[in-house]
Amino acid sequence: MTEAKVAVITGASHGIGEALVAAYRAAGFRVVACALSIPSSSDPDVVNVAGDISDPGTADRIMSEGVDAFGRLDTLVNNAGAYIAKPFTEYTPADSDVMLSTNLAGFFHITQRALRRMEAQRSGHVLNITATVAEQPVNGVPAALASMAKGGLNSATKALAIEYASRGIRVNAVSPAIIRTHPEESYAGSESQIPLGRIGTIPDVVAAVMYLENASYVTGEISHVDGGQSAGHW
C-alpha cells in the first residue's frame, strides 16, 4: 500500500485555506493545517497547529507536531497572508510590520524548513498564494505595500524553482485578484475591475492549486486566477 502524501497548509482556518484542506484531504493527502487560531481536528489524518506563522517557533511546531508525526512532506501551500490597501503615505509602521511579517517572514520560516525536508526526500512541491496586484496595479485601488510583499513571493517562486529543480522539487504560485471570501456587500462595484465581469470564487482558486499540484512538468509558474486582470489595463 502506498504511503499517503502529506501537505502543510498555512492560513487554514477559513476561506481559501479551509477549502484547500478539504481539497487535499479529498485527494488522499494527510494535512498539517496551521492558522493563528484553529481548534484541534477530529480527523486523525489532519493535525492542526495554532500559531503565528511569522514566528519561527510556529514553523518548528508545524514540522515537529505534524510533518514528523506523519513521516514525510510532499507539499507546502503558503496561503497565510495579510492584505492592507490604502494610500502609500497613510500606511503605518504597524501595517508594514503585519504585511511583511505575515507575507514574507512567515513564508521564509516555514519554506526553509520544508525545503530541507523535501531536499532529503529528493521530491516535493511548494505553492505560494500571491496576488495579481503585485504585477497589475489598479487605478483607484492603492496597495503598494501589498504589491511589495506579494511581488516578493512571485520573485521567490521563480528563484526557488530554478534553485531546486535539479533536486526534484517544484515551486509554483497561484495569483488571485478579487476573490469572494467575505459578505456580499463588500464587493459592490468590484466587478468593474475584472475583464470577465465577475468576482472570483474560492473554488476558482482551489482548482488552480490542484491543477498545479498534479502538473508534474510545471515549475516556476505564476498562475493567474483573476478574470483577466493580469492581461493589462482595460
* Cα(230)–Cα(198) distance, integer angstroms: 15
For the chain, what's the residue count? 234
pLDDT value of residue 116: 98
Looking at residue 140, what is its pLDDT?
A: 81
Half-sphere exposure of 3 (CA within 13 A, CB side): 8
Domains of the chain, start order: 6-231 (3.40.50.720)
Contact in structure between 131 and 225 (CB atoms under 8 Å)? no
pLDDT, position 183: 63
3-state secondary structure 133-170: HHCCCECCECCHHHHHHHHHHHHHHHHHHHHHHHHCEE
The residues with which 127 forms a beta bridge, in sequence order, are 77, 172
Tell me the pLDDT tens digit for each residue of 129-156: 999 999 988 888 889 999 999 999 999 9
**Side chain identity at 12, as an amino acid letter?**
A
What's the pLDDT score for residue 234? 55
- Residues of the chain short of pLDDT 50, as ranges, are 1
